[in-house]
């Protein structure tokens, strides 16, 4: 991983961190304070799921794909193939070891993707903290989604699409700081 980061810092590769996250009408509410005597309620439902697959680099470039359907190896292959068609330099995609990321179906596509300049790198087990896209999912769920976004599936889906469309333009940003490694 250290050598991949060095190559990315030198501009020799585009290092992308990929994963998917599910969003539904079950709010992710961190601790908060309200005035004594006030109450605030949010409806909760696990329905109306929206699955988002993202590929994020340290520069803030985000490619995202959305489905209301299930994420499996076939869906990952479709999205990775679509992403591979857009790259213009050697790109390494960092993934966890989810079964749909490392299945035989996915492994059968590796040679084809490598011909297009796309390589896969798998994190060791239990190292999701090394995948920077986890920070994006956390920011969306705990900071950028508002209580009113959980009023309906349409409102939630529209807000997630708005966040993804505007990520990196000043409204929704994450500033990752990398230092040169010696």
2-23+45-166 has which CATH code?
3.30.420.10
Looking up tokens 């990398």 gives: 178
Q: Which two tokens stand for residue 163?
A: 């966040």
Task: Identify which of 151, 163, 140 has the alpha carbon closest to the alpha carbon of residue 45.
Answer: 151
Considering the entire predicted model, what is its pTM? 0.86
Is the predicted pLDDT of residue 33 greater than 70, yes or no? no
How many Å separate Cα 142 from the centre of its chain?
A: 15
Give residue limits of the domains in the chain: 2-23+45-166
Helix (H, G, I), strand (E, B) or coil at 173: coil
Residue 32 CA to its chain's centroid (Å): 26
Note the pLDDT tens digit of each residue in 83-138. 999 999 999 999 999 999 999 999 999 999 999 999 999 999 888 889 999 999 99
């Amino acid at each position: 991983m250290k050598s991949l980061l060095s190559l990315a810092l030198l501009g020799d590769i585009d290092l992308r961190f990929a994963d998917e996250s599910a969003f539904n009408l079950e709010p992710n509410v961190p601790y908060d304070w309200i005035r004594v005597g006030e109450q605030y309620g949010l409806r909760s439902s696990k329905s109306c799921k929206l699955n988002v697959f993202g590929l994020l680099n340290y520069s803030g470039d985000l490619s995202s794909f959305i489905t209301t359907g299930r994420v499996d190896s076939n869906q990952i292959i479709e999205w990775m193939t679509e992403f591979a068609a857009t790259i213009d330099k050697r790109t390494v995609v960092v993934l966890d070891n989810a079964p749909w990321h490392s299945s035989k179906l996915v492994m059968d596509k590796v040679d084809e993707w490598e011909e297009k300049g796309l390589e896969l790198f798998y994190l060791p087990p239990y190292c999701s903290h090394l995948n920077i896209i986890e920070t994006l999912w956390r920011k969306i769920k705990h900071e950028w989604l508002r209580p009113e976004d959980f009023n309906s599936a349409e409102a939630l889906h529209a807000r997630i699409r708005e966040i993804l469309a505007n990520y990196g333009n000043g409204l929704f940003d994450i500033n990752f700081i990398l230092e040169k490694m010696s």
